[in-house]
Every structure is written in structure tokens, then in C-alpha cells.
Structure 1
Amino acid sequence: MATTKKPIILAVDDDLQVLNAVDRDLRSEFRRDYRILRASSGEEALTTLRELRAREEPLALILADQRMPGMEGVELLSEARGIFPDAKRVLLTAYADTEAAIRAINNARLDHYLMKPWDPPQQLLYPTLHDLLGAWQREYQPKYSGLRLIGFQWSPLSHDIKDFLSGYLVGFQWLDFETNAEAQDLLTAKGLSAADLPLVIYEDGVAVARPSKTDLAQHMGLTITATQDLYDVVVIGAGPSGMAAAVYGASEGLKTLMIERQTFGGQAGTSSRIENYLGFPTGLSGSELAHRAWAQAVRLGAEILAPQEVTELCVQDGYKVLTLTDGSKVRTRAVVLTTGVSYRTLDVPGVDRLSGAGVYYGSARTEARSCDEQDVYIVGGGNSAGQAAMYLATYARRVFIVIRGKSLAASMSAYLIEQIGNTPNIEILPFTEVAEVCGQDHLEAVVLKTNGEITKHPARALFIFIGAKPSTEWVCDTVICDGKGFVLTGRDLVTDPRYATSWKHNREPYLLETCVPGVFAAGDSRAGAMARVASAVGEGSMAIKFVHQYLDE
């Protein structure tokens, strides 16, 4: 969350007694709402102003004495106008300098002058300053002081960072370097160039050029290193099934670790609105559901590593040993694979080249605002595509859903079909497929093929939601997967002659157990699973029951 920095009043006078008196009176009246700073010369004041500008501190008012050696008050206040053009500027002067003060108001555009002495301040100082500060407050718009991301709209790396931050519900301000003057000023102030983009500026002012997900995670306080030598159960994947497994494992006293390579929620976490999940009659976003589950798992004692990826699973002396991308290893007695699925890639000319630059897999929530009053296209007819269409319709001029079949009925829930039918700026394009995507450095048009007819249409963005590809490549050498990469479990291992010899234990495998005893699978990456959030949550919960049975053997 962004925080607002308290505005500053700067008092400047070379006479220490006068400066002390000004400082005392200002603090007495204004310290609750303003920070009071002081400087003993014009040069020191300018240095302070430049530092405040670099730190983006708000200056409300500067009060400077006229007669100072080296730089007079009028000259200082004129210089200050170039640094803080909106700050109120007041000249402090003796009676003999009244004429000069009046000229300065006309020539240097000062806001006011005050006579010395100003005793009592309740009559001769505070009313004037209150009026000036009130006028400043009416015009003042606090600078955003949370995390900011500066980059190019069509940069794939900028998109990846936006997607990552959004996935963890981290608030940030997006500044397009090509269209935002503030972004250019910030880059210059940091002594950087466009070659350093994307640039993340954290709330504490630290700037990191082209940050990795690990850099972002560490600054966000996420954990990427395991703390225990041995766990009872490690859950791999933080989608709905993984979250449920972590919640139930931790709540039932198991030493539980969950590892997620990207962001919480899996594919469901990218859904803009889930309206058919039990207990939420008005619906909720996938990211909301994921972060509620994450908070619940942590509260109950689960340890979570993110973003971190498992690259290998092997069995040593009955224990399961997981190797992570950084080379570290995690030992556990049992494993629950909840790696989920990812969207299949669209294999047409131009997609690979423009991926992240107008062509996106999922990511409707991340890029929706950039599609304001533009035409966008969605490929896919499942619930994720429908939820994305409804969300994008809030921003885009028109949303086109491209499907190969004649309708959405075979693949989308009825409530979504009804909502889409009642949304005037969503149009379904049946018997259609994308033949090509076009553009130089970003998507400019899509080529569609409808019943053999080829047409080209301008497009701001193309969102792809086609099919499910299990994220199991790294583990298929250890557990048995079917021809599509989905993990086989339970009775499938003993009833199918092709896999009957893979189970060598003296009991039948538990319902969600893989061919490796103590390694279980749940959720969308398991063969035969139902692609629904509630089903995934149920399987993740059930997996912990079987983990208990395995550990009790």
C-alpha cells in the first residue's frame, strides 16, 4: 500500500536567534500536519530543496529572510520556484525592506511577505500561513509513494513483472516510459537510461533495474529457502488443490512445506471472477481466493517457498529428496504433486514473436486497463475465457471470443454463457480460428479464418485460453504419466496392463497415490481429475488423509 509523506515547511534565516524563533513558532502551530525543516543560508536551503525533490518529498511552503549574505531571500525564493513550482513562497523582511518585498511579489511572483517581528504569532504569523497552506492543500495531489514500475507497454519483461506483482496482490503504479513524463523524470533522477528498463522503484526509494522474480520476492518478504531439515509432507504447487493440502496438512499437525514456482492460485488465480464456488454467492476473484487460502495456510503453520521451483524428485532410503532450481535440496517423508496445468501455446505465425507484447496467455486482469476503448480478441471457450471476456468488457470497446465450434455450450458454464449473452460489447465468433497475428514490435492485427474465409482485423490484444497442458515434464521420469502428461494414480496403476508392473508395494495404491509410494497427486495435473476449483480443493484435502495413512504404515 502507498503511504502519504507529511508535507514540509522550510524556514531559512542566517540569524540563529531569528531562525530559532521561526522554528519554535512554526512547530508550535503546524507540527501535527507538517514537517518543519530549517536552513541557515540560501545555499544550504537550495541543497535541501534539491534533496527533497530527489526523494520526492512534498514542499508546502518556504519562508526565507530577505537579508542573507551570499544569497538574498528574493533570489532564493525565485530559485525555489524552479524546483518546487507549486510551493508557497513567503519573504520575511524588516520594515526598511518593504518596498523591495512588494517589488518581489510582482517580479518574482512571491505569495506573501511578513514583517519582523511577528509577535504575537497568533495575530501576525499564523493567520497568513494558514491561508497560504490551505490554498496549497486545495491544489495539492499527493505523489504516489508505493512501488512503481517503469517500462515499455510492449515489453515482455515489463509484462512479466506486472503479472508477477498482480499475482501476489502487490499494489503498484505502472508508468509507461514512452508516454509518461514523470517516468522519464524519475529515470533521469536515478541516473539511468531506457536501456535499464523495466525499473522497479520500491517505496523506500531503492531502484532495481530489470529485477528478477527472486529480487522482487525478497523485497516483498517472501521466503525462498526451506528452514527445516526434514518435512512430513511437501506440497508442490500452490493452486487450489495445493493450498487445500497445505491447509489440511498444517492444521492436522504435519510439518508442511508448500513450494510454488510462480504465483499463488495457479490457473484459477488468474480468473477475474469465480461465481460457482460454494460459499461465495456474489463470487470472488481467483487471486482473492488464493490469498485467503495462503493466509489460512500460514496461520495454521505451513511454510511456503515462492517463487521457487522443483526440478527433480528422487527417493533415497525411503525419503523423498527434492532438488530446487538454486541447487538446494529438501527432504520429506511424503509429497503431494499439485503442479496444475498451463495454457497450451497457439501455434500460428507471429505468436511467439509478439508474446508479451499484445499476445498474452491468461493475464486478462494485468493488461485490461491498457485495452481501454480498443478491440480485443479471446481464443478459447472454457470458463477462464468467459471470465476474462466479462472482465475485459468493462474496459475494451469490443471483445471477440474466437471458438472453433458452433457455440460455448459444450465447454462453458451456463451462468457465464448467460452473462456473455447479456453483455452488448461481447461477440462470439463461431467456426473461427486465428490464422496469424501481425505487428512490428507489438500486436496490431489478427488474421481470422472463418469457414475457409480469411479476414484481417485491427486488435489491441489477443488473450489465449486454449486447453490444459499438465506441468509435469520434470517428474514424468519418476512417476507414471499418461500420453498427455497427466499423472496416473490409484487403481489406474493396477487395472491397466500397461502400468501394472509399475506398482511394486505389497498393498494396493491409495486413491491419489502415484506409482511411487508416499508420492500423491491432486488437482488438474492428475489423470481423470475434474477441472473445477471445488474438485481441486477436495482432492487436495483428500490427499492429506492418504498421507496420514502412508506415514502410519
Structure 2
Amino acid sequence: MKKPVLLCVDDDPQVLSAIDRDLRQEFRRDYRVLRASSGREALATIQELKEREEPLALILADQRMPDLEGVEVLTQARQLYPDAKRVLLTAYADTEAAIRAINSARLDHYLMKPWDPPQQLLYPTLHDLLRAWEMTYKPPFRGVRLIGFQWSPRSHDLKDFLAGYLIGYQWLDFETDSEAQALLAQKGLTARDLPVVVLEDGTALANPTATEVATRIGLVVQASQELYDVVVIGAGPAGLASAVYGASEGLKTLVIERQAPGGQAGTSSRIENYLGFPTGLSGSELAHRAWSQAVRLGAELLAPQEVVDLCVQDGYKVLTLSDGSKVQTRAVVLTTGVSYRTLAAPGMDRLSGVGVYYGAARTEARTCQEQDVYIVGGGNSAGQAAMYLATYARRVYIVIRSANLAASMSAYLIEQIGQTPNIELLPFTEVAEVCGDDHLEEVILSRQGQLERRPARALFVFIGAKPSTEWVCNTIVCDAKGFVLTGRDLVTDPRYATSWKHPRREPYLLETCVPGVFAAGDSRAGAMARVASAVGEGSMAIKFVHQYLDE
């Protein structure tokens, strides 16, 4: 943080130099001393400090100045810095005006000229005032700030994006936060421009895309090389494992992620069964450890960036990105993962992002303080979300269609949920409808045929999974559910036997129907939906990439 400012104002050059000298001598270690030779110059300086969001601790202004008297300077300064200490510097003849100004202009003190020696007549008073200022001063937030409406899908998407990349940010609700309104006005923007991202350097981005924000905070969205040895599509656990092993073994490696590192696992608030972490860790923490490791070893990562097409030209794989650019590579590892299925109930689409969320428990948990929330799903992700939300919400309800969680959730999570008093399981229950005007207000539950209407602050959906392979199914053979077929499945099943075209060998274990294109993780047919198995497959894929490149 920049040092707080002490501003001295006097139109007499000799007096101004003297007060400036004395202030620097005593306070320069902890404060920055600025000077102004007129009242108007002082107000311009104060305005500039405000725009740069620098702290102003004290203003010391001479009373008799030709353009603007000291009392008027201090009065106007109070509008911009109401907490800064205001001291009037006055001659003996002006003491009456100074005393009146203590009441009328709310001055904190006045000092007489001359103040020699300063050790007795200046420093003690200023030290007392500055100690009082320090006790109440709240340093401004230094980092990214997001201004928006709480019930706005665009605001939610940007919160989710920033959280996914572990970008520390301050959320400011425009409707309830006066600081948000003042900051927006300061940037010359209105409510029509929301959501607005204010960067650390003060730059304001009105209604930006995730790519625009990514570019400004230092993420890479364009490939730097013309040709790569291997491109990994997706930065979940499988993709990051491929990136770590590919880069560490000398392959020119590129990872392309369309959302945030970690995939579905990255949204997990607590993973407690991953090898080597006895106290558990969050999915985002695991993802960013792996992300940092891959970058340190030499992998290049593009995010957020999306691959929309894959084709083969002269043995090279050509990937087309959503912005129209192309990337060439010798081999590809598909680790596109899965996404949560949508819940088919009236009102779900209309209220998505404004009380209804797919995943995103960590992003919205703090807004659920002392409110009732509902979770749909009985898998580990749902259980981890319930435990995390229970820290904030008044009550967490887990809605499942079956009798209990035993068939779909790990035993350790079931035990933790059972020991958490504000989590309640609702078996044999479905969400029949969600209701609300501009945001979720109620859920209608169907419990063994009986409808029940309940107030709700948020509904988090963690049901099933569908592979994120729509864009590649025309090139790569997938099963009826969209999962990518690999290895022996391509040659033993007569339905797909003709899809494998390599004349001299069978496909490697994780190889798709296109030689040199491999699949790993949850989007692969037959994969186990566990973080550890995804990491294992991602690592194995690089072994087969080496074998393919050595042919």
C-alpha cells in the first residue's frame, strides 16, 4: 500500500517550504508529504489523490490565501476525504475565525504561526491527530473489484470466472453498496454498463467478456508457436496431468481450457480422499497447484479459449479455436471432461444464474448467509457442496430421489453430513418447480406425490454428467451417450470396427479412432469418475503420445 499523504497548503513560498521541511523531517518514514501553493491547487491535488484512490491522512492549510481561504479549502476537502484530519494554520489575528471554523467547518485543530520549535508546538498535536486517524482508517481494497447486481447472470458468470482462476476480487452490489455507486460514478459509468470490472490500476471494463478480463489480468489467450508436439484440450485433473508429464518429458505442450482450470473437480469445496493430502484440499487449490507445476515445467496454457473443430491435414491435427485462429499439432489429448446435466423443471432456465446454479457453491456461498438453500444430487460433489454451504447457510437441504446416499456418495462424506446439524436429507423427493420474479424465491418439492412449497435463497444442481464432446463427435467415434471410445473398444465392437484406419497396428489403450488423438478422464467411455483415476489416465496418455510420435 502507498504511504498515506500529508498535504500542506500555503501561498507564502517561505512558509510553505518551512512547513514542508518540518513535516518531512518528522513523518517521512510513515507518510508522504505533498505541498500546494494555493487553495485551488490543493483541491486539484486532493481530487487527483481521490481518483488514484490514495489515502489522505491530514491537510494543513493556511487561512489567509488570496484565491481561496484555508477554511474553504478544508471544508471542500471534507467532501472527498471525510475522515482526513483538517488543521488550520493561522496568525494570531485570525484565531477567532479559526475557533468559529472548528464548529462550522468541523476542523480538528488550528495551529498558530510561528510553530518554532516544532518539537513542542507542531509535532505533538499532529502525532495525536494522526494516531486518531490511524485507529479508524480502513485501507482501500487493492485488487480487482466487480460491481454488479446480485441477481444478474452476467455478474454471476464473472464471479465464477474470477474465482475459478483464484483471482482475489471484491464484490460490490450496486443496489445496496454506496461505495459501488460512488466508484461507478467516479469512472463515468452508469447502471446500464454493469457488470463492471475495475482492475488494480483503476481501469474500468464495462460489461466485459471473460476473454477481455483474462487478457487484462495476464492470462494467455493466443498460442505462441506454429506447431506443437501435443495439445491437451481441457485443464481438468486429466488434462493438467498430461500437461505436467508432457512438458517434463520435453514435448512442446499446449493446454487449451474454455472455462477455468480444474474442470468439474475444480468446483469441489473439499476433496478428502485424494492420495497424499490427509487433511484434504479444495478442487481449485489442487487445480492451481497442477497449473503452476505445468507452467514451471514449460507447458503453455491458453485460457479462456475454446476449441470448436478438429481435423487432420497431412498427418497433422489442426484445431480451430472459437476466435477463428488455428493451432497445429502432431498429437492431441482430449480431456474435455463432463458438465452437470440440466434439471428439467419449470422455471429452471429462467432463473439460472439468479438463484439457480449448476455447481458454483463456492462462488455464491457467502450470499447465502443465514438463508435456506437446496442441493439437488447425491454424488460426492453434492456432498462436498453441502458441507461447505453449511458453514454459511441457516439450513441446507439435500434433495435426492432415492432412499439414501449410500449408493452414490463416499462413506466419509455421508458420515460428515450425518454429524452436521443444519444439513437435512430429503429422500424420495424431486424439484417440481422453481419460482420467483427476477430471482429464486421458492422451490416446489414433490415428496412421494405430494407438492410442498418452500422459501429458498439458492438451488445448487449436481445431477449426473454429460461429456463435453459435442464439437468432436463428427470426427471422433463416441458411444450413444457421447463418451469417447478408445483402445480395444474400437476393434472388438463390430459397430465401430471399421472406424480404425491405421493399417499396421491396433489403437493404443487411450487412442481414439483417429491415430494420434487420445482421450483421458471423465469424457472417455469406461472411465472411472474419480480425480485420482483422471490424473492416472492423463499421465498414461503421454506415454502413448511418445509411442505415436516415435512411429
Query: Normalising by structure 2, what TM-score?
Result: 0.98
Question: Given the alignment of the two structures, is residue 140 of structure 1 paired with residue 137 of structure 2, yes or no?
Answer: yes
Write out aligned runs for 1:111-510 (5 A).
111-505=108-502, 506-510=504-508
Q: Percent identity?
A: 81
Could you say what secondary structure the match of 1:353 adopts? coil
Compare 367-376 and 47-56 and name the one that shifted more: 47-56
Could you say what secondary structure the match of 1:9 adopts? strand
Q: CA deviation at 1:84?
A: 1.7
Match of 1:66 among 63, 82, 96: 63
Q: Counterpart of 1:512 in structure 2: which amino acid?
A: L
Q: Provide the C-alpha distance between the structure 1 equivalents of 2:71 and 2:488, rounded to a whole number of angstroms.
A: 88
Q: Provide the C-alpha distance between the structure 2 equivalents of 1:366 and 1:253, rounded to a whole number of angstroms.
A: 37
Q: Provide the C-alpha distance between the structure 1 equivalents of 2:460 and 2:7, rounded to a whole number of angstroms.
A: 52
Could you say what secondary structure the match of 1:60 adopts? strand
Compare 471-480 and 65-74 and name the one that shifted more: 65-74
Q: Counterpart of 1:276 in structure 2: which amino acid?
A: N
Q: Provide the C-alpha distance between the structure 2 equivalents of 1:74 and 1:448, rounded to a whole number of angstroms.
A: 65
Question: Given the alignment of the two structures, is residue 516 of structure 1 paired with residue 514 of structure 2, yes or no?
Answer: yes
Compare 357-366 and 120-129 and name the one that shifted more: 120-129
Compare 86-95 and 199-208 and name the one that shifted more: 86-95
Could you say what secondary structure the match of 1:427 adopts? strand
Match of 1:103 in 2: 100
Could you say what secondary structure the match of 2:349 adopts? helix
Q: Counterpart of 2:372 in structure 1: which amino acid?
A: D
Write out aligned runs for 1:67-86 (5 A).
67-86=64-83
Q: Provide the C-alpha distance between the structure 2 equivalents of 1:102 and 1:180, rounded to a whole number of angstroms.
A: 36
Q: Provide the C-alpha distance between the structure 1 equivalents of 2:498 and 2:105, rounded to a whole number of angstroms.
A: 91
Q: CA deviation at 1:83?
A: 2.5
1:125-152 Cα shifts (integer Å, max 9, x gaps): 1121111101110111112132111101
Q: Provide the C-alpha distance between the structure 1 equivalents of 2:151 and 2:527, rounded to a whole number of angstroms.
A: 37
1:296-355 Cα shifts (integer Å, max 9, x gaps): 000000000000010100001111010111111111110000000000011111000000
Compare 290-299 and 50-59 and name the one that shifted more: 50-59
Could you say what secondary structure the match of 2:329 adopts? strand
Q: CA deviation at 1:82?
A: 2.6
Q: Provide the C-alpha distance between the structure 2 equivalents of 1:307 and 1:107, rounded to a whole number of angstroms.
A: 56
Q: Provide the C-alpha distance between the structure 2 equivalents of 1:185 and 1:79, rounded to a whole number of angstroms.
A: 17
Q: Counterpart of 2:512 in structure 1: which amino acid?
A: T
Q: Counterpart of 1:52 in structure 2: which amino acid?
A: L
Could you say what secondary structure the match of 1:92 adopts? strand
Compare 429-438 and 51-60 and name the one that shifted more: 51-60
1:386-415 Cα shifts (integer Å, max 9, x gaps): 000000000001100000110100000000
1:331-387 Cα shifts (integer Å, max 9, x gaps): 111000000000001111100000000000000000000000000000000000000
Match of 2:550 in 1: 552
Match of 2:35 in 1: 38
Gaps of 5+ in 1: none
Query: Normalising by structure 1, what TM-score?
Result: 0.98
RMSD: 1.0
Q: Provide the C-alpha distance between the structure 1 equivalents of 2:258 and 2:30, rounded to a whole number of angstroms.
A: 45
Could you say what secondary structure the match of 2:350 adopts? helix
Q: Counterpart of 2:392 in structure 1: which amino acid?
A: Y
Compare 90-99 and 251-260 and name the one that shifted more: 90-99
Q: CA deviation at 1:72?
A: 1.5
1:244-271 Cα shifts (integer Å, max 9, x gaps): 0000000000010000000000000000
Q: Provide the C-alpha distance between the structure 2 equivalents of 1:104 and 1:450, rounded to a whole number of angstroms.
A: 70
Q: CA deviation at 1:99?
A: 3.0
Compare 190-199 and 526-535 and name the one that shifted more: 190-199
Q: Provide the C-alpha distance between the structure 2 equivalents of 1:502 and 1:276, rounded to a whole number of angstroms.
A: 38
Q: Provide the C-alpha distance between the structure 2 equivalents of 1:98 and 1:459, rounded to a whole number of angstroms.
A: 63
Could you say what secondary structure the match of 1:354 adopts? coil
Match of 2:88 among 87, 91, 114: 91
Gaps of 5+ in 2: none
Could you say what secondary structure the match of 1:351 adopts? coil
Q: CA deviation at 1:92?
A: 1.1
Q: Counterpart of 1:143 in structure 2: which amino acid?
A: P
Q: CA deviation at 1:53?
A: 2.4
Q: Provide the C-alpha distance between the structure 2 equivalents of 1:173 and 1:161, rounded to a whole number of angstroms.
A: 12
1:45-89 Cα shifts (integer Å, max 9, x gaps): 122222222332221100011111122112222222233221111
Could you say what secondary structure the match of 1:75 adopts? helix
Compare 4-13 and 228-237 and name the one that shifted more: 4-13
Q: Counterpart of 2:211 in structure 1: which amino acid?
A: T
Question: Given the alignment of the two structures, is residue 534 of structure 1 paired with residue 546 of structure 2, yes or no?
Answer: no
Q: CA deviation at 1:121?
A: 1.9
Q: CA deviation at 1:106?
A: 3.5
Q: Provide the C-alpha distance between the structure 1 equivalents of 2:172 and 2:388, rounded to a whole number of angstroms.
A: 22
Compare 75-84 and 489-498 and name the one that shifted more: 75-84
Q: CA deviation at 1:26?
A: 1.1
Q: Counterpart of 2:549 in structure 1: which amino acid?
A: L
Q: Provide the C-alpha distance between the structure 1 equivalents of 2:56 and 2:264, rounded to a whole number of angstroms.
A: 46
Compare 243-252 and 29-38 and name the one that shifted more: 29-38
Could you say what secondary structure the match of 1:514 adopts? coil
Q: Provide the C-alpha distance between the structure 2 equivalents of 1:267 and 1:112, rounded to a whole number of angstroms.
A: 60
1:167-207 Cα shifts (integer Å, max 9, x gaps): 00001110111111111111122221111100111111100
Q: CA deviation at 1:118?
A: 1.8
Q: Provide the C-alpha distance between the structure 1 equivalents of 2:14 and 2:288, rounded to a whole number of angstroms.
A: 57
Q: Counterpart of 1:434 in structure 2: which amino acid?
A: V
